[in-house]
Amino acid sequence: MPANWKTFPAPAWLCKPIENSVVHAASQSGCPERGASSHLRPPLALRLQPIRIPVPDKTSQSACPPRNSSSQSGSPAFTFQPLSDCQPSPGTSSQSQPPVASAAASPGKVTEAVKVAIDAGYRHFNCAYFYHNEKEVGAGIRYKIKEGAVRREDLFIASKPPHPEWIMSCSELSFCLSHPGVHDLPLDESDMVIPGDTDFLDTWEAMEDLVIIGLVKNIGVSNFNHEQLERLLNKPGLRFKPVTNQIECHPYLTQKNLISFCQSRDVSVTAYRPLGGSCEGVDLIDDPVIQRIAKEHSKSPAQILIRFQIQRNVIVIPGSITPSHIKENIQVFDFELTQHDMDNILSLDRNLRLATFTITKNHKDYPFHIEY
């Protein structure tokens, strides 16, 4: 079900231009015709401040299908996601300690964590509709912009829309993204996702429209396997390539083949859950190999795991709300792992997938039925 987790900066339902009027994401004239010119790019940097745009009048829009009343907010399949994943620049470093569910931290802590991260040098923030933290992340960013510590154009803000079963047009996508206060996932009586037959290529077209009208600057995918990514890249009339594929990646799941495939197609890779978890009672942070390498470099195990991904040209996005961890984990540019270190870390691969999204295994686009 990979199309559920598309990534793109500056989510329309969080932001409005500072110097202009509110962009109503679902305005009837805002969506380009399918097949319209793709050369109408948004400005290089949209100066944005966080705000939830007004919910459109349901009677004047294409209604989004109602979500099942039995849906449960914050289902286990999504609780691993990071709070506010940051990195100094798209394509290099990362933030912090093991991923924390957004429900596990108070809004004030998330906002303060963003402020600390910006002061420490982070410039990449990873959000999502499902994390329920976008308002708090936006508040921290807005505070630091107003303070003069950072400019909006220096920040790369990623987010994801809700599940694509509802997304068939630009207006419907915008309507869903701006409609707060509803459950996250439609579930059946067995707590499995109620699957639909939406083609993720249709979802992608709706997202391309958002780029053209200037609501987002880039779009990408998450959890796509190589067959799904190839299908998207070969889509007739593709207007925008995905800039990244956000996947689980750590030494217990090195994703060597998928990373090679993505990079060969000029699609960057973003690693979520890079600090891993437990395997056979051993936590990745406590793995003897990681501990030994950390000791040799006088670094923390987390710093070794972050540096490992950087040297693979992989973007890293673990999350933390702990100031000391946030500051520590950006200190990864004053050392380099040897090839011997890299080989030893790669040898830890156990094909251990921690985020299996079991409630979506019945979906036609479940991405983990093949090797990579």
Annotated catalytic sites, by residue?
Answer: 131
CA 41 centroid distance within chain = 22
Of the candidates 14, 150, 15, 5, the residue with the CA atom closest to the CA atom of residue 89 = 150
Alpha-carbon distances, residue 331 vs 12, 120, 312 (angstroms):
33, 10, 17
Surface-to-core class of residue 117, CB atoms within 10 Å of its CB (0-12 exposed, 13-18 middle, 19+ buried):
buried
* Cβ(251)–Cβ(276) below 8 Å: yes
* Cβ(42)–Cβ(211) below 8 Å: yes
Alpha-carbon torsion angle 370, 231, 362, 354, nearest 10 = 50
Please compute Rg for the chain using Cα positions. 20
The kind and range of the H/E element at 247 are: strand 244-248
How many angstroms separate the CA atoms of 259 and 275, rounded?
Answer: 17
Q: Which amino acid is at 156?
A: F
**Three-state DSSP state, 221:** strand
Name the phi and psi angles at 326, rounded to 5. -60, -45
